[in-house]
Amino acid sequence: MSKTHGLTLEELQELSKRATAAKDVSYCPYSNFRVGCALLCDDGSWVIGANVENASYPVTICAERTALVKAITEGKKKFRAIGVSTDISPPASPCGMCRQFIREFSDNSVPIFMYGKEEGECVVRTLGELLPMSFGPEDLLPPGRGARK
């Protein structure tokens, strides 16, 4: 697969723009670590999310899961690409919990574009690269059931 993972130049630019802009709605008064996420859904629509922290720290929700929960509850369960943006360099990658959460709704080929603080800075990995030998819905559900059917 090429570095674009089947996305058009316009989609790549939009993914970066939306993931980066999503940092602006982050609620992170404790860490000041802003994270934005953008999902390109298979119907061509976009969903964004940001991290939402809590005074009880473990209750905090990451940007990736915020975006996915929004998408799933809007009936969007298939994704062509995921963009994650932070203010650090090199770019941060999704945490382990989010990788597993993404796995529920994506196969191993879905690309995750990670953007850092420098203009144009981007690292791309597939979910399979970030979460090898993963456990997913097909391990529990018979064919024809589960989110991706």
86-125 residues in contact with Zn ion (CB under 5 A) are: 95, 98
Residue 95, annotated ligand binder?
Answer: yes
Residue 54 as a binder of Zn ion (CB under 5 A): the answer is: no
Instruction: Provide the 10 A C-beta neighbour count for residue 95.
Output: 13
Which has the closest alpha carbon to 67: 57, 56, 55, 76? 76
Instruction: Rule CB under 5 A: say whether 131 interacts with Zn ion.
Output: no
Instruction: Tell me the CA distances in angstroms from 34 to 27, 45, 80, one per residue in order.
Output: 8, 23, 24
**CB nearer to Zn ion: pick between 11 and 27:** 27
Query: What one-letter code names the amino acid at 121?
Result: E
Q: At its nearest, how many Å lie between Zn ion and the CB of residue 24? A: 19
- Closest distance of CB 23 from Zn ion, Å: 15
Q: Which of 22, 62, 67, 84 binds Zn ion (CB under 5 A)?
A: 62
**Between 95 and 141, whose beta carbon lies closer to Zn ion?**
95
Q: How far apart are CA 102 and CA 107, in angstroms?
A: 9
Of the pair 11, 87, the CB lying nearest Zn ion is at 87
Q: Which residues are catalytic?
A: 64
Contacts 24+ apart (CB under 8 A), 56-60: 57/30
Phi/psi at 147 (5° precision): -65, -35
Residues that bind Zn ion (CB under 5 A): 62, 95, 98
